[in-house]
Amino acid sequence: MTESNALYAQSGGVTAVINASAAGVIETIRKHPDKIGKLYAARNGIIGVLTEDLIDTSFDSAADIAALRHTPGSIFGSCRHKLGTIEKNRAQYERIVEVFSAHNIRYFFYNGGGDSQDTAYKVSQISKTLGYPITCIGVPKTVDNDLPMTDNSPGFGSVAKYIAISIREAGLDVASMAQSSTKVFVFEVMGRHAGWIAAAGGLAAEKEGDAPHIILFPEITFDPKAFLARVDACVKKYGSCAIVVSEGIRNAEGNFVADSNLADAFGHKQLGGVAPIIAKMIKQELGYKYHWALPDYLQRSARHIASKTDAEQSYAVGQAAVELALAGKNATMPIIVRDSNHPYRWSIGEAPIEKAANTEAKLPRNYITEDGFGITELCREYLQPLIEGEDYPPYKNGLPIYIKLKNTPVAKKLEKTFEV
């Protein structure tokens, strides 16, 4: 066994399949005991690094690690914490080097989205900036699908599948009730800056009249008049109207509609959610009875209906991250490459982390129909393979079995503590 250890951590909003990436990292490292000694995990992402709050993954059985593939959430804890620049926050970087050095950590794998890859990039530069030899590989993940370079972001396919299934099911519900009761259903989905998740709802509409009838994207300025006219026409034609709305839609002034309170002259903000605002607007202007839903965390943790494609890709980027590290790469990130659409084929490529950091890939305009209320065939062709396949977890007592690891702490070696 070598003395070079590795450290893995998860960061940012979690996904249904981020732990599949963890499994990919851990299982691949276990195949190379000659090259990597211990694999540690940092509790709560970079915070666990700074506070020397490490976990020794070697106490967990192969079966338990394999079960990560079907367990949602972040098995080692996540965080929302970005490293500042080394110029202004040198103490933080020195602390990271102290922790790495104390535990012989030579490989660092950071699993997250754009903000997290910014942190990963900064860590990858420590060899240059502070002279500590570290190999840092980013592992991509985000439900928002807004990472650049990669064809799609691991984590997105599962939320896309959940949203498409949910609006199909709720669309049948509202259509059932419409004759004498609820005629409009408003479904709010995540994606504050990019409409990928909202677009995924459009996959449910395969035939004329299918739900969703309208999608509101953050990329399209919200026009209440055009929207209400469309809702009215939809109810008159199909009897009911199912709407997917992104949390991030903005009005003509560029403000989030969710932050507006159209009903309240006193300026009191809503407690959250654009769906109730849209729903009330419909009631006031058109008189239709409505229901609305806001699944929030449910959409990004719905491992019970994860996309098989997504689960496989999430595992693959974890595996590839280790292979890249062992091949001597640094400051890089495995990405998904789409090799063909019919049949769908993908492979793993790589891209510099630096370019993944702090960039948001928005929905291209030609993925949205000209009227701004739906997705084009081009968009459907892009999205469809990402939700392909079911990958059910095992069940016991009617509920999915989600693993908890031992999360055995590593004894601290540093005397000093560090405040984050």
Which residues have a catalytic role annotated? 144
Cβ distance to a second copy smaller for residue 64 or 350: 64
Element (H, E) at 165: helix 156-177
Other beta carbons within 10 angstroms of residue 390's beta carbon come to 12
How far apart CA 389 and CA 168 sit, in angstroms, is 17
How far apart CA 280 and CA 215 sit, in angstroms, is 17
Measured from the CB of residue 388, what is the shortest distance to a second copy in angstroms? 5
- In 49-200, DSSP assigns E strands to 54-56, 105-112, 135-140, 184-189
How far apart CA 49 and CA 185 sit, in angstroms, is 45
Cβ distance to a second copy smaller for residue 17 or 320: 17
Q: Hunting for tokens 């996309």 — which residue is that?
A: 307
What is the separation, in whole angstroms, between the first and last Cα of the chain?
Answer: 34
How far apart CA 313 and CA 302 sit, in angstroms, is 17
Asked if residue 212 has a cis previous peptide bond (ω within 30° of 0), the answer is yes
How far apart CA 22 and CA 41 sit, in angstroms, is 10
How far apart CA 142 and CA 155 sit, in angstroms, is 5
